[in-house]
Every structure is written in structure tokens, then in C-alpha cells.
Chains A and B, each alone.
Chain A
Amino acid sequence: MAEKTYIHGTSPRQRMTVGAILIVFGVLMLLLFTPGTEAGQTAKFGMNLTSSAAIKIPDIILPVQTSLYVLSFIVVFLGAFQMARGIRSPGALFGIVAFAFVAAFLIWATKGKSLSLIGMLTSSLVRATPIALAALCGVISERAAVVNIGIEGIMLISAQASVVAATLSGSMALGLFVGVLAGALVAAFHAFLVIRFKVDQIVSGVAINIFATGATSFLSSKYLQHQGSLLNNSGTFPIIQIPLLSKIPVLGPIFFENNLVVYLMMLIVIVMHIVLFYTPWGLRTRAVGEHPKAADTLGINVFFVRYVNVIVGGMIAGLGGVYFTLGSVGRFDEVMTAGKGFIGLAAMIFGNWNPIGAFTSSLIFGFADSLQVKMQILSVPIPSSILAMAPYIVTMIVLTGVVGRAIPPAADGVAYEKQ
């Protein structure tokens, strides 16, 4: 009773432990990365894309040993500061340390070679796009307390529907429309099962995944594989350079030279943030997600809000499906979503059910993805499959709540029974 309460992670004992861990971590970084480096060795990071319209800037050339010492020192210093004074925001602390580690890793991996940093960041955003769209679908549904684990299945169905529609009609716009519509329909079915019939939400999602995998693979081997050029060859959305903005060095090639799906994704992030937190509809959505009974008492139609949000979520996931075909390779392959829907769910939790958070964590997953590919090219002596585990492990660590707790909407996953 009389015990003093602390903000999460700020009690003196925890402070000392975290600080000590950081100091050890900083020293480990030094011991891990400096062996094998030579004095005067440099790492070159390319900051320009040859194909891009951006104004050229000089590449970054870093002295390997000095940079590693500096980065390790930053981590050790943060640890010492944490022990002595305590840092208020565990998230920021974790962010800086993670950044220092990744930077040290990249410098070590690129020692004596060159790496196109900008190319890696560009591909991070592209790879993050389907993950972010899946995560945004999760955010909008779960803010209204409907768990949708069938995102993976929705994306598969949309991917297939859109490529067939675009190939048959020859119109990319129609393909996009059909993909989004397919997503809306599957999500509407999910919503109907879980809202009207109160089917267990996760079970319904799992059923959608099983069904979608079966249905798309069935149609693919029955039709698409034999008549590929007639049904399964749509081409992709062109890259659009946004005038002026794409001239900005670094930011231009990353954000303003993309295809339609990537732009739409970024637009949805912003719009969803505004809608959720600055409009009456957002307030209603959040009320329905946190305390549906109270919302109902105040005259909000709980079921209607849930239906709309789940269906809009389905449209967003449908756009994610469109990314795989029209936005990427112009062709449907069986099970081509490869778990991106599930990673999107992890990104949603990682991002604390927030559109911007979900986008940021998707970027981290996308970065890890493209890092893995680059590391294969640089022939780093770590197996790339081991490296590829990192995002999953990080997600699990985040879920433990050690680094700031993710709090779901209070009524998430619970069917509402009108009294």
C-alpha cells in the first residue's frame, strides 16, 4: 500500500538492470564487430539511385573502426546514464540502441565494400507496403473490436481477382477496383459471421485463410497455369515520379518515386490517423472498441460501426492483395502472400493499434526483409535465414511488454450482445 508506484520500467532496480544490460551490450557490440577490421578501412554507403530524378549528393564514406567505437560508446553511455539518472522513455531508449546496433552491423557488413543505402531504404518501403496495408486493415477492424486474422486470405483472394480482372479487361483501374471489392466482400462475410452469428472471431479468420488458400490455388491450377497469357498477365502499375518532391535527395527516391499502391498506402495511413482521432466517426469507432455497452447507451449503433469498419478494413487488405499482383509482379502465383498478412498483424500490435505506429513497424519489418536480401549480396558470414528470424523475435520481445506495453482495445475480440 505504502509502496511507491513507478512508471513502467523506472523503479531503481529495473533502472540498474536495464543500464547494466546496455553497458554489456555496448561492449559486446565492440567485441563482435571490431575483430577483422583494419585501421583505415572504410565503408561506402551509396546515397543516389542511378535511375532517380533526385539531385545527386555525395555518398557517405565512413571509417569503419572509428564509427564502431563511436556507436558502441553511445550505447555504453546511454547505459551509464540510465543507471545514474534514468531515462523516461523506454521506447526512445530501445529505438536509439536498436539504431546503433543496426548501424554498427551495416558498417561491419560493408567494411571495405560499398552498399547502396538508398536502394535498401527504397526497397524497405516497397516491401513494407503489403505489411502496412495488412496492419492498417487490422487497426481499423480491431479499433471497433473485431479481430480479423483472415487478412492473409483476403489478400490472396484480392490478388488473384485483381490480376484476372485486369488481364481480361486490359484495364489496371478495373483490376484495382475488383481487388478492393473482393476484399470488401470477404471482409463482409467475416463481419456477418462474427457480428450476426457471433462466431469465434479467430476461428472465422482461420476458416477464411484455409478457404482462400484452397480456392485461389484451385483456380490457379485449374485455369491460370494453362491460360497464363489470357488470364494471368496484367503488367504492373507504372512508377510515378511526383514533380518537385522527387527531386529532394534521399527522401525523393524513397517516398516520391513509387507506384500507385505505395502512394495509396501512405495516404491511408494519414487519412486513417485523422479519421480515428479527429472525427466523430473515429470517436464512435474507438468507443465501440473500448466499451460497446456505453457506446450503445449513447445511441451509437454498435453493429453498424463494426460492419463498416471491418468492410473498410477488408478494402484496405484488398489493396494489399492488389500490391502482390498489379503492384509488384503482374502475375498471380499460388500462396504468394507468404505470411505477410500475419506479419501485418504483428506490426499492428507492435504499432500499438495506431495507424502511424503500424506503418512505422511495417517499415521495420520491410527493412529487415530488404536487409536480409542485401546481406546475401554482401556475403556476410551469417546465414541469411538466421538473420531473417530477427523481426519475428523482435515482435515476440515487444509482445512481452518489456519495451512499452501494447494495449489492445478493451473489447477486442468480444462479440457484442445487445441487451
Chain B
Amino acid sequence: MSANKEPEKTKARPSLAKMLGGSAFQSLLVPILAVFTGLVIGGIVIAVTDKGVAAAFGNFSADPGGVFKAAWSAVATAYGALFYGSLGSPREIIEGIRIYQSTGDNAAFLKAIYPFTESLVTATPYIFAGLAVAIGFRCGLFNIGAEGQFFIGALGAAYVGYSIEGLPWFIHLPLAILGGGVAGAIWGAIPGYLKAKFGAHEVVNTIMMNWIAFRLSDWLLTGPMMSSGFRPVTPNIQKAAELPRFFSEPLRFNWGFVLALVMAYLVYWFLFKTTLGFEIRSVGANPDGSKYAGMSVVRNFVLVMVLSGGLAGLAGAAQVLGVDHWVGQGFSAGYGFDAIALALLGKSHPLGVVLAAIVFGILRSGATRMQSMAGIPIDIISIIQGLVVIFVAAPIIIRWLFRIPGETSDQTVLTRGWGK
């Protein structure tokens, strides 16, 4: 990733991190601490904006400890709701298993694991979208348009899903998934081609493609693709196009998650075990060098944007076919930026992206409960997310905060200006 890093890494400086277990730990350390620090600062925000804390603060001179007590209880309530809402309670899960074993009734068990499955449901499109941005980063391309590709992919999958009738599921479902992937790929291919052919910067073009996607979807959802009702949404997809769910009704956990994991493995295999993947990574690391080595930079740019758009399209497809079964306005809101955060947090490695997506899935899904139970607006997650991105992009802040010795110039170079 960083092309021009000096080969001076042999300076043996024994650090705590190294002693604890080599490079795998080292590379996980910053992301983990970034998420941790993000949560701590999020906690501070929760405490500062809490009514009880403000009241206790008014009484500061009489009872200075009360402020901390109030702050602690505010944060504990909020994060308690967050993790209860996203992971469930272990006690209830064990209780559920016990009931199932003794009576064969799985209702309690399903109820207990519902929060965690919801987190995985939220994580599913994140995995695809994070992979989309990550594969772009690997080639030195910044796909900021995952949001538009996601939307178009969702619309493509929905169209294939509702317009064809009478197909068996083993034809219809793959076709609908493919529809989403292809639609997203086309949306990604356009900026890729413009970048390769004219050198037009992909950041601006993918942003423009986002807005074109929103306007196009406005038109499609109020016109050609509108369902028979009054709301601007597509019709429901056919039963045969739905991604099958593992459990009965309230649990939305479906095969999309498995598909996402398989796709993550495929991306890993493609990037690290194939010649094309090697070319992509080498173009990302050093486009000029790769050119002199006989690789086609232009072809790789287009290829990567097609793959990236396709993955973002699959994210949309997985969300429609597995969870919602229809598409409405604002369907893609936030996925593009979330995907960038995920790719950064996962260090553009498929495994890292999967882990990051699950973490974000847990946060996002738990935040809904935190909002209803503790009255903390769901947007706190975006605050934490923004902080995490800053910390991951500037590991020096984390190193300074936690006194971790290491290279001071350890920066990820991801993009190169507008023109080149």
C-alpha cells in the first residue's frame, strides 16, 4: 500500500506489542484500540449530553462524586442497551437451550438469539460493501460511490426479483443476485472507464454517479418501477427470488450472510492467489513500476471498478433479497461512507473487512435498541465511526494515546490527488 516506505524497518526496538505476539497482533492493535477509543469518546458524549449528569453537575459543590455516578450510570445504561440489543443476553440464550433440550420448544432460544442474528443481518450488506471499497484501495482507487452502486444494485435485483414470474427458485434467485451484481458493476464501470481512458478522477466521478443514481431512483420509484400503491416503492419480489431464511418469521437471518463470507473468501483468493490479483495489488502499490513491468494499468483500473461496483451491487441485492424484499427511497442511505470506514478499519484485507463489518453490524443494530431504551439518538454511531476512521487513518494518535512505540511515519497512502 505504501509504495515509498523506506526499507529501514530493521531497527530492533523491543516493544510491548511485539512481545505480545508478532505482526498479526500488531496489525490488529490499532484497529482494536481505534474502536475502543471511539467507544470511550462516544461514552463521554453520552455522559455530557445526559440530563441526569447535567442535574448532578448543578449540584457539583455539594456532591462532586454524584457527577461521576450519574455519568457512569448514563453510559452504562446506554452501552448496556447497545450490547443487549446487539448480542442478546448469555443467560437468556443458555436458558433457551435448556428449554429446547428439555421440551423441544425453541421459541425461547430463538427469542434469545434474535438480537445477535439481527446484528449479522445488518453486517451482511456491510461485508459486501466493505469488500467493494477494499478491493478499490488495493488498486489505488477510491470508490466513494459504493452508495450509488448499492442503490442501483438493489434496484436491479428487485427488478429481476419482481418482474419475472413462475421460475423455480434455483434459477430465479441466482438470476436476481446476478441482476444486482451486474447493475452495480455497470455503475462502477463508468467511472473506472473514465479514469482509465481520460484520467478523470474517480472520487468526483463516483460522487457524481451517486447523485445520478439517486435521481434515477427517484424517477424509477415514482414511475416505471413503482408498485400499484401510492408509496414510491417497488413491488415485493417473488417468493422464488428471496434469499431463504434460517429460522421462522421474526428472525431475518438468511443465506445472504453465508454468501457474504464466501464472497470474502473469493476476494481473498482472487487478490492474493491469482496473477490478476497480484497485478491489481502491484498497480495499487506502484502504477508506474507496474506499467514498466508490462501490466496494463488501464485494464486493471476498469477491472477493479467493475468488481468494486459489482460487490457494492451485491450488497444491495443481499439487502433486498434477504431482508426487505422491496426497495424504497433512501434505501442506500449511509452505506457508501460506512463501507469506506469498514475498508479502512479492516485494512483493506477481506478478513479484516468481515470482522469490521460484524463490529459495525453489532454497533448499528444495537444502536436501535439504545435509541428506544436509553433515548440516545442512533447518530452516536456515526460519531464513533468518524472517530474510528480518523484513528485508523492516523495511527500516530492511537500510538501517542496508548504510548505504543513504533514507526512514526506509519501512514497508509490510499489516494493520489485529483489529476493522476
Contacts and interface: CB of A to CB of B under 8 A. Distances in A.
A and B are partners in one complex rather than unrelated chains: yes
Interface of A: 142, 147, 149, 193, 197-204, 206-215, 217-219, 221-223, 339, 342-343, 345-346, 349, 383, 385-386, 388-389, 392-393, 395-396, 399-402, 407-408, 411-414
Given A211-B386, A218-B380, A401-B200, A203 B207 contact: no
Given A210-B386, A214-B385, A199 B394 contact: yes
Given A345-B204, A396-B208, 13 more contacts: A197-B411, A198-B409, A204-B393, A206-B389, A211-B385, A218-B382, A349-B204, A349-B418, A389-B216, A392-B212, A407-B419, A413-B418, A414-B417
Contacts of B203: 149, 202
Contacts of A411: 417
Nearest to A217: B379
Contact of A203 (B200, B223, B414): B414
B198 A401 contact: yes
Contacts of B223: 383
24 contacts: A198-B409, A198-B411, A203-B412, A203-B414, A206-B144, A207-B387, A207-B389, A207-B390, A210-B341, A210-B385, A211-B387, A214-B379, A214-B385, A346-B204, A349-B201, A383-B223, A385-B219, A389-B212, A392-B209, A392-B215, A395-B208, A399-B194, A399-B205, A408-B419
Nearest to B408: A197
Interface string B364-389: 00000000000001011111111101
Q: Which residue among B142, B341, B394 has the maximum number of chain A CB atoms within 10 Å of its CB? A: B394
A117 to B, nearest CB: 25
Contacts of A408: 417-419
Contacts of A339: 211
Interface string B210-232: 01100110110011000000000
B386 to A, nearest CB: 3
Contacts of B377: 217-218, 221-222
B45 A218 contact: yes
A383 to B, nearest CB: 5
Contact of A200 (B144, B197, B393): B393
Contacts of A211: 382-383, 385-387, 390
B394 A399 contact: no
Given A147-B418, A211-B387, A412-B419, A385 B215 contact: yes
A347 to B, nearest CB: 11
Contacts of B341: 206, 210
A214 to B, nearest CB: 3
B344 interface: yes
A215 B201 CA distance: 29
* Interface size bracket, B side: 35 or more
Contacts of A221: 377, 379
Contacts of A386: 215-216, 219
Nearest to A398: B200
B283 interface: no
Contact of A207 (B142, B211, B393, B409): B393
Contacts of B379: 213-215, 217-218, 221
In order of increasing CB-CB distance, the 10 nearest A-B pairs are A214-B382, A211-B386, A413-B417, A399-B200, A210-B386, A217-B379, A207-B389, A385-B218, A214-B383, A218-B379
Interface in B404-420: 409, 411-419
Nearest to B412: A200
Contacts, number: 167
B419 A202 contact: no
Contacts of B337: 206, 209-210, 213
A257 to B, nearest CB: 31
Contact of B382 (A202, A217, A389): A217
A212 B417 contact: no
Contacts of B412: 200, 203
B164 interface: no
A142 B45 CA distance: 33
Interface in B215-264: 215-216, 218-219, 222-223
Q: Tell me what chain A mostly uses at the interface: helix, strand, loop, or mixed.
A: helix
B59 interface: no
A89 B381 CA distance: 51
A399 B409 contact: no
Contacts of B142: 202
Contact of B397 (A197, A385, A413): A197
B311 to A, nearest CB: 19
B413 A200 contact: yes
A202 B419 CA distance: 14
A234 B397 CA distance: 38
A389 B218 CA distance: 11
B163 interface: no
A147 B415 CA distance: 11
B396 interface: yes
Given A210-B385, A218-B380, A393-B212, A193 B198 contact: no
Interface string B29-63: 00000000000000001000100000000000000
Contacts of A202: 142, 203, 414-415
Contacts of A413: 415-418
B189 interface: no
A199 B413 CA distance: 8
A209 B385 CA distance: 11
Contacts of B383: 211, 214-215, 218
Contacts of A198: 409, 411
B339 to A, nearest CB: 11
A228 to B, nearest CB: 15
Contacts of B414: 200, 202-203
Given A210-B389, A211-B383, A349-B204, A200 B219 contact: no
B204 A399 contact: yes
A314 B207 CA distance: 21
A141 to B, nearest CB: 12
A370 to B, nearest CB: 16
Given A193-B390, A211-B387, A199 B208 contact: no
A204 B393 CA distance: 7
B340 interface: yes
B211 A147 contact: no
B199 interface: yes
Contacts of A219: 49
Contacts of A414: 416-417
Contacts of B382: 210-211, 213-215, 217-218
B49 A222 contact: yes
Contacts of B344: 203
Contacts of A218: 45, 49, 377, 379-380, 382-383
Contacts of B389: 203, 206-207, 210
A212 B394 CA distance: 18
Contacts of A217: 377, 379, 382
A343 B204 CA distance: 9
A411 B417 CA distance: 8
A268 to B, nearest CB: 22
A343 B211 CA distance: 10
Contact of B381 (A207, A214, A346): A214
Nearest to B388: A207
Contacts of B409: 198
A283 to B, nearest CB: 21
Nearest to B413: A200
